[in-house]
Amino acid sequence: MNVGIIGSGTMGIGIAQVAATAGCHVSLYDANDIQTEKSLSDLRKTLAKLSAKGKISAEKADEVLNQIKPCTEISGLRNSDLMIEAIIENKEIKTKVFAELENLISQECIIGTNTSSISITSLSSELKNPERVIGIHFFNPAPLMPLVEVIPGLLTAEQLPQKVYDLMKSWGKTPVISKDIPGFIVNRIARPFYGEALRIVEENIATPEQVDVAMRTLGGFRMGPFELMDLIGIDVNFSVTQTVYKDYFYDPKYKPSLLQQRMAEAKLLGRKTGKGFYDYSEPGNTKDKARIGDKQPPNDLQRLIFMRIMSMLINEAVEAKRLKIATDEDLELAMQKGVNYPKGLLAWGKEFGYETISSTLQNLFDEYQDERYRQSPLLRKL
């Protein structure tokens, strides 16, 4: 299969590696040739390291690299059977590139987009043949994270989601099919992991460290919300929340946090700037300090933090189930394979007892009188 990838940044090169590893011929194009050279040189180093560690053979490393052909012109993608676009997250720029591509590629070529937040329907609607456009949303780093959300828009051909689903399986990925809604599955359901944690800190109930310790020790999450926001980038996480909030017509459930906005304004963006909720100026120091609390027995504050965040997350998963954003199985898989949650949220809700989740949310609603804490109509019926 010939796969054309547009955009050779973080995601584009990762997707190229996945496709090449699966044996596809990959053509990689970026408006910035230097970016493509840099990404390919980084990939060469990564593959050399993997082969030195015995994770892949030297032959396989060479094979993967040889399968990826850089192109300096977009016309180099002409013979693709599948295009995956991974350029800047900007609707106008993406639409312009699609229009250019449409005149170049064959009628049969599928156009996939790796957008995190732009509606697939809106990206396809300007094209002559919108039926061939579909969301193929990889998670970062693409070669390591198994999840791929496959997202048909309203105009996508009926049989295309299954075709792309099967293809992703053959690439060794864990695909799930999602409706074309803001944030798709993962970026929608995961919002309270960050949003509720930020609220707790804004209200001076706990510090970021206390929240992180609670979520790690009581929930078994690999990272707490604040260390994860520091890793993702405070600006990136804030912008996803803003988009989801706006696209749900300002639903209070997704209201962004002022604290996060101020952090972004101050360029306290996390690991990439050396300081976010934690200070990374002394390497190794922060993580060890923050994890001291993991060895202490859990206390009431930690239980309160944990139940508040978990109730919000489970409520969100139940609402996604009610709206049939995806099958129950895909909702569970998505959170485990896309963001490493230790369990699916529906299973977790069952374990807690949905009545407990419902009463926790009711108490929060009574206290704050905020629509943010409204329950999914399905929660009380489960």
Ligand X SMILES: NC(=O)c1ccc[n+]([C@@H]2O[C@H](COP(=O)([O-])OP(=O)(O)OC[C@H]3O[C@@H](n4cnc5c(N)ncnc54)[C@H](O)[C@@H]3O)[C@@H](O)[C@H]2O)c1
Residues that bind ligand X (CB under 6 A): 6-12, 30-32, 35, 86-89, 93, 97, 114-116, 138-140
Whole-Å CA distances, 204 to 70, 207, 210, 360: 51, 7, 11, 19
What are the residues facing 151 on neighbouring strands? Answer: 135
Give 115 or 178: the residue with its C-beta nearer to ligand X. 115
Whole-Å CA distances, 356 to 181, 252, 349, 380: 28, 23, 9, 10
Rg of the chain in Å (alpha carbons): 22
Q: State how far the Cα of 213 lies from the Cα of 289, in Å rounded to an integer.
A: 11
Q: Name which of 214, 318, 220, 204 is nearest 259 in CA terms.
A: 204
Give 8 or 260: the residue with its C-beta nearer to ligand X. 8
> Closest distance between ligand X and the C-beta of residue 67, in Å?
20
Give 28 or 345: the residue with its C-beta nearer to ligand X. 28
> Closest distance between ligand X and the C-beta of residue 46, in Å?
16
Number of Cβ atoms within 10 Å of the Cβ of 54: 7
Collapse the DSSP code of 5 into the 3-class scheme (helix H, G, I; strand E, B; otherwise coil) and give the result: strand
Give 24 or 97: the residue with its C-beta nearer to ligand X. 97
Give catalytic residues, as residue numbers: 116, 137, 149, 187
> Closest distance between ligand X and the C-beta of residue 20, in Å?
17
Beta carbons of 350 and 233 less than 8 angstroms apart: no
Helices 234-247 and 191-202, packing angle to 10 deg: 110
> Closest distance between ligand X and the C-beta of residue 289, in Å?
27
Give 112 or 152: the residue with its C-beta nearer to ligand X. 112
> Closest distance between ligand X and the C-beta of residue 223, in Å?
15
Residue 4 gets which letter from DSSP? E
Q: Residue with CB nearest ligand X? A: 9
